[in-house]
Amino acid sequence: MTRSASFSTFVEDLYASKTFEEAFDTFEKKAQVLGYESVLYTYIPKVLIESDFAVKPVYKVSHDYSPGFLKHYEDARFDKHDPLIRAVDAGVNEPIDWWGDVCKAFMNGERASNEVIDTSRQYGIKSGLTLPLLSGKSGIAGASFINTESGNLNGSNNPNVADLVLCTRLFHGLVQSNACYKGEFVKTLIDALSQTEKRFLAGLARGQAPSEIAYDLKTSERYLEQVMLKIRRKFSGVSPTESPTINRNQLLYYAGLLDILEHVD
C-alpha cells in the first residue's frame, strides 16, 4: 500500500511539473528514495554519435553526481569510448551494472574504454547502474545511477531496481514527448550554428528550393552554397580548409532528426 501511494504521488508530481527542472527534481528525489545517491540522464542525438561534430553531449545530473568525475569525463570526451553508450546504442535493454559482464563485453579490450570505468572508481564511485531507454534513428538515451558508499544493495543488487526502471521510463517518456524538454539536449548543437545556417537548414527541411530560401534571406544562391559547405564542415568536424565528410543528403537527414524547425524562429 505504501509503495502504491508513493508511486502515485511520484506520477502526479511528475506530470504536474511545469518545467524540465521540476520534472528532473521529482525524478531525482524518487531515485534517492529507491536507494541511489544521484542520477544522470541524457539524450544523445544520432548526429553526435555518427559524426565528428565538435559538440559535447548534454547531461542532466544531480548536483552531487561526482562533479569531478563528470568534468573529467567531459574534458576527456569519454563519450567516444564509453562502453555503456556502446551497449545502449547496440540495443541492450536490460539494466547494466558498471562492473558487470555486459559493460566489460562492450569495452572491446580497448584501453580507452577501460579507462572510462576505471576513472569512475578513482573518483570514489562504488557502484553504477545504467538503464537503457532509447536506441533508434534519432539517437540514444539512458539514465545512470551511482552510489559512493559500499553496500550489498548498491547497483543491480538493489531490490528496488524494478521500481526504478518503471519510474525512469515514465520520466523519459515525458521528456521525449515534450519538445521543450527534449530541446534541452540538442540546444548546444543548434547553438553551434549561426542564425543564417539555422534558417537555411530550416528552409531545406520545409522543402523550399535554394532560390526561395535565398529570396527569404535576402541573399544569393551562390552565397548559400558557401553556407552549405560551412555547415557540412561543422558536422564533419574538419577545419575551414578541409573537405567535409558529410554530404548534403546526410546533412538534411541529420537536420530532420534534430527537428530543426522546432528550433528556428
CB 78, CB 170: distance < 8 Å? no
Q: What confidence score (pLDDT) does residue 154 get?
A: 66
Reported as type and span, the H/E element at residue 44 is: strand 38-45
- The sign of the dihedral angle between the CA atoms of 61, 67, 68, 72 is positive
Minimal CA–CA distance to 167: which of 21, 57, 48, 3? 3
Q: What confidence score (pLDDT) does residue 126 get?
A: 92
Q: What confidence score (pLDDT) does residue 1 get?
A: 41
Q: What confidence score (pLDDT) does residue 263 get?
A: 77
**Structure-block grid coordinates of residue 169:** 521510463
Rounded Cα–Cα distance for residues 77 and 41 (Å): 17
In sequence order, which residues have a C-beta less than 8 Å from that of residue 214 and are 6 or more positions away? 220, 221, 223, 224
DSSP per residue, 93-114: -S-EETTSHHHHHTTTT-HHHH
**Structure-block grid coordinates of residue 40:** 544522470
Q: What is the pLDDT along the chain (265 residues), one digit of tens a residue?
A: 445 678 999 999 999 999 999 999 999 999 999 999 999 999 999 888 888 888 999 999 999 899 999 999 999 999 999 999 999 999 999 999 999 999 999 998 899 999 999 999 999 999 999 999 999 988 999 999 999 987 656 667 788 999 999 999 999 999 999 988 998 999 889 999 999 999 999 998 888 999 999 999 999 999 999 999 999 999 998 998 999 999 988 888 888 878 887 777 7
SS3 content of the chain, % helix, strand, coil (to 5): 55, 10, 30
139 phi-psi bin (left φ>0, alpha ψ -120 to 50, beta other): left
Q: What confidence score (pLDDT) does residue 159 get?
A: 86
Q: What confidence score (pLDDT) does residue 155 get?
A: 67
**Domains along the sequence of the chain with CATH:** 2-187 (3.30.450.80), 193-263 (1.10.10)
